[in-house]
Amino acid sequence: MKKVSFKLITTLWITVLISVVCGVSTTALMLMSSKSADDKIKQNLIAMVQSNSDEMEYSNGVFEVENDFSYYSGGIYCDLFSENGEYISGETPHTLIESASLGETDVVEKDFAGENYYVYSKLLSFTKFEYEIDVMSGQIISYEADVTPVNELMPIPYSETKFRNGISTSDAIDIALSHAGVSSDEATIIGAEIPLYQDRQVFKIEFTSQTSSYGKIYIRAVCPSDDAVTVFDSVAKSAVYLLPFFVIIAAVGAYLISKKAVSPIEKITESAHEISTGNDLSKRLETSKAPREISNLSETFNGMFERLQTSFENEKRFTSDASHELRTPLAVIKAECEYALSEHADDEERMQALESIEEQTDKMSSLVSSLLAVTRAEHSRNRFYLDKANFSELTEEICAKFRPTKNIELIKDIEKNIEINLNIPLITQLIENLLSNADKYGKENGVINVKLCSEGDNVVLSVRDNGIGISEADLPKIWNRFYRADASRSETQGFGLGLALVKKIAEIHSAECVAKSEIGVFTEISIIFRAANLK
């Protein structure tokens, strides 16, 4: 079964996601649009009533509607009714006039002749009054009353004026209040002055009151609720038409995005395939021009190729070195056997041949044992158990048993009672290898210094000799199997596996190996056990 491509999967997921988002968004938009349309119409009803409230007045006892009064605007009908519900004026269809709904404090929905309407009505009181009264006779010359919120008008202090053979300011106020049917306790005087007219002298009295003899007026606004439905339907239709278009755009966009996103990965795949199927493991993937995530992936692959290349080279070198090390004793054994079996060999020579064969066999056995130890350390790391042990006592015991092959003095500087988690057989092998290595390459009558101490939170074991030393160029290579730095080291007895095994044992204990050396002066190998791995 052919696997589905990542581009197709990404395209489908992005398309489905965007489709769901568009669907949910469209549904939410339609719901909000429906509510918004309802709210807008209700706000328009209230606004129209508020606007028309300022366009009515009583002038000299006659109710007047000013020209700016809007009886119909934007699908909204506006009518006037008396306090008793009697129709005064308007342009609303006759069926709505007969079905007058008054006294509603909020916008309500009502059924008129089988159709739904939004209705809002407001009862208005004439609260602001203005009178002009002759200063001599006290007769009312003109008067007006209109609808004005009382809280918008503040009382103004006035001064008392009285005319000889005429009336005073207080008299004029009483005349105006009496005519309006308002007591002095119910009125707030907002103006009492004598305007400068060329043809007459009058008191101009202005006051407000919540009660008067003028009565009240209902103003009612009506609008079909179908207007909101129409707005909602238009939005819904637009959404229905646009949604498939958005889905198509999303699918195309998702494919292009996934194609562009996958393109660097496909290049990595091709390059990795070329490297894996070719003979040159030194090739690497391009990382400089790629995005960060792809660059990290390329660097990870490059790291893997680096390790593979190193591993293959090590295995190749290991095979070559192991073959070389085994070829010599095998050749000696072969030659000794052939000579011992020949007719020219006497008993003494045959005995010498057997001794040589035994010597070479021991050498091969030692080499094989060392190889097995390194291999076991490399491939069985998780099988070794670490238990808490007294590192100080173990180091003391190993040093006490060590016997140098040269006239070398062993100096110990071991801190007491250092306890860490370790594998005793492996650590024993590690210390013995370090001591043996120092003995092999140390000077005659030289010194080997063994130090174990705590440094901060870490524990450090170091073995130092004053032997031939290692060059700076060779120092990083001493941990490789079969590596011997120079001819002088190659001539010494050994296979170059001691430090390789030391490093593997240190890795099992999550420790770090550090080597320092100076040609002809010293070599010091330190094993640093980090604090995080001691418990």
Q: Looking at the structure, tell me whether residues 392 and 359 fall in a common domain.
A: no
| Last residue of one domain, picked from the residues 326, 344, 374 | 374
Which of 214, 233, 252 marks a domain boundary?
214
396, pLDDT greater than 90: yes
Is there a single domain that holds both residue 486 and residue 398? yes
Judge contact between 257 and 7, C-beta under 8 A.
no
Q: Which helix (H) or strand (E) holds 235?
A: helix 226-277
Range of the domain at 438: 384-533
Plot region of 113 (φ>0 → left; ψ -120 to 50 → alpha; else → beta): left
Higher local confidence (pLDDT), 363 or 491: 363
Which of 214, 248, 279 is at the close of a domain? Answer: 214
Confidence of residue 328 (pLDDT cuts 50, 70, 90): low
- Same domain for 405 and 464, yes or no, is yes
499 and 364 assigned to the same domain: no
Lowest average pLDDT, out of 65-69, 141-145, 277-281, goes to: 277-281
Three-class SS state of 46: helix
In a domain, residue 277? The reply is: no
Residues 389 and 361 in one domain: no
Q: Could you tell me if 515 and 411 lie in one domain?
A: yes
Q: Based on the structure, what is the number of domains in the chain?
A: 3
352/423 same-domain check = no
Residue 406 falls within a domain, yes or no? yes
Is 278 contained in some domain? no
Which residue type occupies 499?
A: L
Q: Which of 70, 356, 332 is CA-nearest to residue 221?
A: 70
- Per residue, what are the HEC states of 402-471? CCCCCCCEEEEEECCCCEEEECHHHHHHHHHHHHHHHHHHCCCCCEEEEEEEEECCEEEEEEEECCCCCC
- Whole-angstrom distance, CA of residue 210 vs CA of residue 186: 7
**Crossing angle of helices 424-441/391-401, nearest 10°?**
40
Inside any domain, residue 236: no
320 domain residue, yes or no: yes
Same domain, 390 and 370: no
| pTM to 2 decimal places | 0.41
Q: What is the distance between the alpha carbons of residues 76 and 117, in angstroms, rounded to a whole number?
A: 10
447 and 399 within one domain: yes
Query: What tens digit of pLDDT does each residue of 509-524 get?
Result: 889 999 999 898 899 9
- Across the range 140-164, mean pLDDT stands at 82
247-272 per-position pLDDT tens digit: 777 777 777 777 776 677 777 777 67
- Residue 413 and residue 455 in contact, taking contact as beta carbons nearer than 8 Å: no
Q: Identify the CA nearest to 513 among candidates 500, 526, 530, 522.
A: 526
Both 307 and 352 in one domain: the answer is yes
- Check residue 494 and give left, alpha or beta (phi > 0: left; psi -120 to 50: alpha): left
Q: How far is CA 215 from the centre of its chain?
A: 68
The verdict on residue 20 lying in a domain is no
